[in-house]
Amino acid sequence: MLSFLALAIPFLMGVISLVVPWRRWIGWASAVSAAGVLGIGIALCIATSSHTAVTAFHGALRADSLSSFMVVVIGTVSLLATLQTPRVMSQEIAEGTTTPRRASYYVALMQAFITCMLTAVLAANLGVLWVAIEATTIATTFLVSHYRTKKAIEASWKYVILCSVGIALAFLGTVLVYFAALHSGVGTPGTVSLNWTSLMAIAPHLNHGVMRLAITLLVLGYGTKVGLAPTHSWLADAHSQAPAPVSALMSGVLLTVAFYALLRFKAIADAALGPAFPRALFIVVGLLSLLVAAVLLIAQRDYKRLLAYSSVEHMGLLALGAAAGSSLAIAAVLLHMLGHGLTKSTLFISSGEIAHAEGTTEIAKIKTLLARRPVLGGIFGCGLLALLGFPPFSLFISEFTMARAEVDVGLWWVVAISLVCLSVIFISITNHARHFLLGGDSSVAVPLNARSVVVPLVAALAASAFIGVSAWPLLTLLRAAAHVVAR
C-alpha cells in the first residue's frame, strides 16, 4: 500500500499539472508531492527495518530495506529540486523564456521522471526495472531541451541516442540472465521469472559462461546511464544544458538509481560466479571513470560541466566501493549515494542561480564571487568543500569507509590509484574555485533575497554535515539495506 502510494502521488501531481493551467501554487504542490514521497520513504524504511519486505499489487511492487533507502534518496533530492519550481518558472515566464503552457509541461515531466525512478526502485521484476530506467530517458529528454536552444537540442539528441543504445545492452544482459534462469536445472519452468527473490534463490545454479556475458553487458549498459566511463560523454552535455533543478535531479538521483540496478545484478552475479569476475569488471570501469574525470577536470572551463565530471568521479568511487562488496563497503556506497545527492543537487541549483545572476557559465568570466554575492558564493563554496570530501560533510566519512573496506578485501592497490586521481581532482577543483570565488572587496556585496533558494540549500548542506557527524538514525538503516545485496 505504501509503495503504491509512493507511485500514485507524483503520478497524480503530474496529471493535475497537465489539466489545470499554470499557477504558482502548482509549483508548490509539486514540492508537497515530493515531500510526500520522502515521508513514504521514511515510513517504508521503518516498515522494512527488520529484514522484511513489503509487497503490493500481487507482488509486482516490492520494497525491501534497500528499495526503501532509495525512495528516501529520491524523495530528498526531488524535494530540493521541486522547491525551486515556483520561483524558477515564474521568473522564466516573466522574462519571456517560457510560456505558462510549457511551465505546466515542465511540472508534468518532472513528476513523470520522479514516478519512473520510484518504479525502478520499487519493481520486484528486474525486467520492469529496465523498462522504468529506459522510461526516465524519455521523460527527461524534453526537460534537457527545455530552453530549446541549439545547444540544448544537441545535448538532448546525444542523450537519447547514447542512453537508449547503451541501455539496450542492459536489456540483452537481462535477457541472458533470464535464459540462464530457464536452464538452471532447478525448479519447474513455469515458476522461473525475472523476480529478484526467485533469481536470488537459484543464483548459485546459473550457468557461468552465460552469466559472465550477462554481467559484462549489464555493467556496460547500465554503466551508460550511471555515467561510468567509457560511455560517460552524454553526461556533461545534458547536465550543462538542462535547467538547474533538472540537472540537480539527474545528477543527484538518476545516476544512483541506475547504479542501484547494478547493485542488484552484481549480487546475483556474485552468487553465481563468485566475487572475482564481477569485482574485476567494477574495478575496471571505476578506475577508468576516475581517470577520465581527473583528466577532463584539469582544464575545465565551464562550471556546470565541472560539476558533471565530478559526478563521473563520484560514480567511479561508487563502482570501486561496490567492487569490494563487503557489507561495510555497500553501507558506505549507500551513504555516499545520499551524500552525493544532497551535495550535488545543492551545487547544481546554486550554479543555476549564479548563471542567471552573472549571465555566463564560464569559469574565467567570473571573479570574486564570494565578495560580491556572499550568500550564493558561500553556499557554492561550502558545497564544493563537501564535494571534495572535507569533514564534517558525509562524503568524507563514506569515502573513507569505502577505502577502508577496499583495503580489507586486499584491494590496497586500487585505493592507491584512486588516491592519485582524487588528488589531481582535488587540486584542479580548488584551483578553479580559488579564481572563481576568492578575492575582491566585500563592500560591493549584493544581497540575495530568494528565501526559496537559501533555506533548502542551507538545510541540505546542514543535513549532509549532520549525517557525516552522527550515525543516528542512518546506521541501522544502512546496515539493513547493505545486507540485501552484500556478500
Site for other proteins in 404-423 (CB under 8 A): none
Distances (CA, A) of 313 to 170, 232, 294: 22, 11, 8
> Is residue 272 involved in binding other proteins (CB under 8 A)?
no
Distances (CA, A) of 57 to 3, 6, 37, 53, 283: 9, 13, 18, 13, 38
Rg (CA), the chain: 21
Does residue 62 sit in helix, strand or coil?
strand
> Is residue 168 involved in binding other proteins (CB under 8 A)?
yes
Length of the chain in terms of residues written:
487
> Is residue 311 involved in binding other proteins (CB under 8 A)?
no
> Is residue 401 involved in binding other proteins (CB under 8 A)?
no
Note the Cα 410 to chain centre separation in Å.
28
The piece of 140-148, 261-269, 354-362, 365-373 that touches other proteins (CB under 8 A) is 140-148
The CA distance from 226 to 42, in Å, is 25
The piece of 36-44, 160-168, 254-262, 378-386 that touches other proteins (CB under 8 A) is 160-168
> Is residue 77 involved in binding other proteins (CB under 8 A)?
no
Please pick, from the candidates 182, 416, 446, 450, the single residue that binds other proteins as defined by CB under 8 A: 182
**Of 224, 19, 244, which Cα lies nearest the Cα of 143?**
244
- Output the 3-class SS for 100-161: HHHHHHHHHHHHHHHHHHHHHHHECEHHHHHHHHHHHHHHHHHHHCCCCCHHHHHHHHHHHH
We find the least distance from the C-beta atom of residue 146 to other proteins, in angstroms, to be: 13
Please pick, from the candidates 16, 35, 93, 175, the single residue that binds other proteins as defined by CB under 8 A: 175
Task: Output 192 or 403, the one with its CB closest to other proteins.
Answer: 192
Site for other proteins in 223-242 (CB under 8 A): 236-237, 240-241
Task: Output 147 or 466, the one with its CB closest to other proteins.
Answer: 147
Those residues whose C-beta lies under 8 Å from the C-beta of residue 443, and which sit 6 or more positions away, are none
* Dihedral over alpha carbons 308, 314, 319, 323 (to 10 degrees): 170
> Is residue 147 involved in binding other proteins (CB under 8 A)?
no
We find the least distance from the C-beta atom of residue 241 to other proteins, in angstroms, to be: 8
> Is residue 275 involved in binding other proteins (CB under 8 A)?
no
The piece of 106-114, 206-214, 269-277, 456-464 that touches other proteins (CB under 8 A) is 206-214
The residue to which cell 545528477 is assigned: 251
Please pick, from the candidates 28, 142, 277, 466, the single residue that binds other proteins as defined by CB under 8 A: 142
We find the least distance from the C-beta atom of residue 477 to other proteins, in angstroms, to be: 30
The residue to which cell 557554492 is assigned: 380
Helix (H) or strand (E) holding 187: none
We find the least distance from the C-beta atom of residue 174 to other proteins, in angstroms, to be: 8
**Of 258, 251, 223, which Cα lies nearest the Cα of 236?**
251
Site for other proteins in 419-458 (CB under 8 A): none
At 292, list the grid cell: 577520465
We find the least distance from the C-beta atom of residue 28 to other proteins, in angstroms, to be: 29
Task: Output 173 or 456, the one with its CB closest to other proteins.
Answer: 173
**Of 293, 279, 296, 240, which Cα lies nearest the Cα of 422?**
293
Helix (H) or strand (E) holding 27: helix 24-47
Helix (H) or strand (E) holding 54: strand 54-56
> Is residue 179 involved in binding other proteins (CB under 8 A)?
yes
Tell me the torsion sign for CA atoms 441, 447, 453, 459. Answer: positive
Please pick, from the candidates 65, 109, 110, 134, the single residue that binds other proteins as defined by CB under 8 A: 134
We find the least distance from the C-beta atom of residue 432 to other proteins, in angstroms, to be: 14
Task: Output 43 or 131, the one with its CB closest to other proteins.
Answer: 131
> Is residue 150 involved in binding other proteins (CB under 8 A)?
yes
Please pick, from the candidates 141, 247, 351, 394, the single residue that binds other proteins as defined by CB under 8 A: 141
> Is residue 93 involved in binding other proteins (CB under 8 A)?
no
> Is residue 98 involved in binding other proteins (CB under 8 A)?
no
Task: Output 194 or 257, the one with its CB closest to other proteins.
Answer: 194
Buried b (16+ CB within 10 A) or exposed e, 119-141: bbbbbbbbbbbbebbbbbbebbb
> Where on the chain is the footprint of other proteins (CB under 8 A)?
125, 127-128, 130-132, 134-135, 137-138, 141-142, 145, 148, 150-151, 153-158, 160-161, 164-165, 168, 171-172, 174-176, 178-180, 182-183, 193-194, 207, 209-210, 213, 236-237, 240-241, 296, 300, 305
